[in-house]
Structure 1
Amino acid sequence: MSIFLAGAGPDHAAFPEVFDRFAQAVSLRSRREAPARVAVVVHDRHGNPESLLPAYVDPLLARIEVEVVPVLLGAGAPCAPSVFDGVDGLVVGGGLTPGYREGLAASAGAISAAVASGVPYLGFSAGAMIAPQRALLGGYLSRGIEVCGEECSEGLAELEIRDGLGLAPFALDVHAAQAGTLSRAVAAVAAGLVERAVAVDENTALVLAAAGGDSFEVLGHGNCWDIRRSGTACIVSVLQAD
């Protein structure tokens, strides 16, 4: 299996590598003459998720034959776990992180089981943030103190950690250097909300070989900032693609 967690939304021109690698993983998983079945999950706070599908689907169609299984999330309408039965790949898009978490909460077990069976997962931005066992959903305050810009809050005030999809053993934040959310990931660890977090730059992804894996590969052109708690301090390691 492969789990790709990207630090921004889909940009097939600036960061084609993540689509290349995911398409390869799906092809290896499918191993059949029929098109691979790929579930593409999108959420739109304005109520038009269908409009977001091409940004995720078109780069895949340019690489492999795909039968798309659209999973359209709306406010208060979680999807049925059965939609993920028999898929060869799973893409979860970007947008409002709490909206994705709400829409997929009932399907977390089905998604984690599919990935454990070898189904590749590709999460962009929000789709990366909800992937961990304990997910950082947003917020811009830690104990009332501002730790990142309010524009990055996802509609939340205090930093909020909730159960995610169970695909990574550490919390994720995205748009790290570009939006200044690295400090939010550090604050989450410093406050003891999580023991470890990784903040991922744009045009960058981390790649886990298996769910729960402690180490990861860096793909792309930026940094992954690995933050770990050590006593009362935080240790930050900066990792780049080889």
Structure 2
Amino acid sequence: MRVAVVVHDRGENPESLLPAYVDPLLARIPIEVVPVLLGAGAPANPSVFDGVDGLVVGGGLTPAYWEGLAASATAISRAVAGGVPYLGFSAGAMIAPRRALVGGYRSRGIEVCGEECSEGLADLEIRDGLGLAPFAVDVHAAQAGTLSRALGAVAAGLVERAVAVDENTALVLAAADDDSFEVLGHGNCWDIRWAGTACSVSVLRAD
């Protein structure tokens, strides 16, 4: 089983981050790791995702992951459509949707989360993502205060729907175009939708 593991490091040593993602996998199943190391100005070659049996995308600076994988979106979405599972941590989850919220902390000039969560961007930015979810995703929701950023993105009309995911929590889609999802873990998923004149928020958690 070949699993591509994508990591980016601001310090330009992405290989040092591999064990955090690879070791838990190796402890559970025998795999051949295909490292995809993202650096400044070095996007991934889309062909690296051909023939893999799984895909893991790590956490870190979300715009950097987007820059490294944007050119591979077609290859990744094709693999996932063919049954390859995708596991995104933090940044890896944020870039997964069709329309990805990649950072920012202001909407219409008003702060909607702390600047420390900005990902190096000022205004909220929505970019074409990997095409793996029909709604935007934000992460570290209640714990880092980014729930309000996801809410702000919907309220501003940047996206029609966003799901903000708590720490130690995952949302699971059966397929890339599924509107519904399963929640795993110990926190909540906050499902935010535009409802004509206001936002509605549903709170989902693992059964």
TM-score, normalized by the shorter chain, greater than 0.5: yes
Establish whether residue 237 from structure 1 lines up as the match of residue 182 from structure 2.
Answer: no
- Give the 3-state SS of the residue equivalent to 1:38 in structure 2: strand
Q: How far did residue 176 of structure 1 move? A: 0.1
- Give the 3-state SS of the residue equivalent to 2:201 in structure 1: strand
- Give the 3-state SS of the residue equivalent to 1:76 in structure 2: coil
2: CA distance, partners of 1:232 / 1:96: 33
Q: How far did residue 232 of structure 1 move? A: 2.0
Match of 2:137 in 1: 172
Deviations 1:104-158 (A, max 9, x none): 0110000000000000000000000000000000000001100000000000000
- Give the 3-state SS of the residue equivalent to 1:186 in structure 2: helix
- Give the 3-state SS of the residue equivalent to 1:168 in structure 2: coil
Q: How far did residue 231 of structure 1 move? A: 1.2
2: CA distance, partners of 1:105 / 1:197: 20
Match of 2:39 in 1: 74
Residue 56 of structure 1 is aligned with which of 13, 21, 33?
21
- Give the 3-state SS of the residue equivalent to 1:206 in structure 2: strand
Establish whether residue 102 from structure 1 lines up as the match of residue 67 from structure 2.
Answer: yes
Residue 195 of structure 1 is aligned with which of 157, 160, 174?
160
- Give the 3-state SS of the residue equivalent to 2:123 in structure 1: coil
Aligned-pair identity in percent equals 88
Q: How far did residue 46 of structure 1 move? A: 1.1
1: CA distance, partners of 2:146 / 2:76: 27
- Give the 3-state SS of the residue equivalent to 1:135 in structure 2: strand
Deviations 1:58-104 (A, max 9, x none): 00000000100000001111111000011000000000000000000
Establish whether residue 151 from structure 1 lines up as the match of residue 116 from structure 2.
Answer: yes
Match of 1:118 in 2: 83
Contact 1:207 1:217 in 2 (8 A): yes
2: CA distance, partners of 1:98 / 1:66: 29
Establish whether residue 86 from structure 1 lines up as the match of residue 34 from structure 2.
Answer: no
Q: Which amino acid aligns with 2:142?
A: A
Q: Which amino acid aligns with 1:112?
A: S
TM-score of the pair, normalised by structure 2: 1.00
2: CA distance, partners of 1:63 / 1:48: 26
- Give the 3-state SS of the residue equivalent to 1:210 in structure 2: coil
- Give the 3-state SS of the residue equivalent to 1:99 in structure 2: helix
Q: How does 1:39-50 map to 2 (within 5 A)?
A: 39-50=4-15
Establish whether residue 133 from structure 1 lines up as the match of residue 98 from structure 2.
Answer: yes
Which segments of 5 or more consecutive residues in structure 1 lack a partner in the other structure? 1-35
* Count of aligned pairs: 207
1: CA distance, partners of 2:156 / 2:142: 21
TM-score of the pair, normalised by structure 1: 0.85
2: CA distance, partners of 1:90 / 1:202: 21
- Give the 3-state SS of the residue equivalent to 1:112 in structure 2: helix
RMSD between aligned residues: 0.4
Superposition misfits of 4+ residues, deviation over 2 angstroms: none
Q: How far did residue 212 of structure 1 move? A: 1.2
